[in-house]
Structure 1
């Protein structure tokens, strides 16, 4: 079963602040639901973070520990981060986009996946959980970046 969920939120800050924070893998555990740890396990083809880099995430989903590796497929600083899983329990595609808006930044997360095996049975629950999680991710991102306004 295919999962394809998208969430978006208007965050009242400029894209350099929002995307600059969100696209830095070191912040993943701070604002991304369920992620306990994120490590850069392969640098980009030209060094550092960018196309070809791989981030290994440790998360908990439906009560189960999941370790998965996302490879950066496309990276446009402050605008787009597109990643595909190269190791983990199921094929996954995660896309973050950040667009300038008159009132700040329109932040969007899209998660696509192909639930197989154990996860296939839980696919309908997973789709709802993914939607809820990415909605919370964007809310938490805004909360972290705009404390006590």
Structure 2
């Protein structure tokens, strides 16, 4: 895969709180860069969200609309959500990890994938853009949760 980017941030809230919000696909558009909509298009075998569930996202990246489907490969709240693309313009693997930290939660997002073939030469630029977006995602996640905590 052409891109492998990991970004981490300490969020001053417990992992259970951070993960409950971040792992809920209904909040994707609120804190994830470029995502306009997210819809549970296939529930897990036992119903709802979990391993085997599929979420269809509509996003914009470099002003281009991208529709893709992520299937949940691993779901271990509040620690891990691992998803792989099963539909979309390029292969993608997205992993969210939430670990206890002395100041709250060490939140991490890893994205692997990206263009192959002739587009591989653009991988360094795309990796920088992905890193920038993931950094903003974690910042926005912290802001969203802090605002919710303050308003609670």
**TM over 0.5, yes or no?**
yes
After TM superposition, the score normalised by the length of structure 1 is 0.95
Distance 2:111 2:119 in 1: 15
Is 1:4 aligned to 2:4, yes or no? yes
Partner residue, 1:145: 145
Partner residue, 1:104: 104
- Superimposed CA distance per residue, residues 79-127 of structure 1 (whole angstroms, 9 cap, x where no aligned partner): 1000000000100000000001111000000000041357435322211
Partner residue, 1:42: 42
After TM superposition, the score normalised by the length of structure 2 is 0.93
Partner residue, 1:25: 25
| Cα 1:119/1:61, change in 2 over 3 Å | farther
Partner residue, 2:92: 92
Structural RMSD (CA): 1.5
- Superimposed CA distance per residue, residues 22-79 of structure 1 (whole angstroms, 9 cap, x where no aligned partner): 0000000000000000000000011110000000000001111000000000000111
Higher helix share: 2
Distance 2:118 2:105 in 1: 37
| Cα 1:127/1:78, change in 2 over 3 Å | same
| Cα 1:118/1:145, change in 2 over 3 Å | farther
Distance 1:26 1:109 in 2: 18
Distance 1:139 1:118 in 2: 33
Uncovered stretches (5+) of structure 1, i.e. residues with no partner: none
Matches within 5 A, 1:66-145: 66-116=66-116, 119-145=119-145
Q: Secondary structure at the match of 2:78?
A: coil
Partner residue, 1:61: 61
Uncovered stretches (5+) of structure 2, i.e. residues with no partner: none
Distance 1:46 1:24 in 2: 17
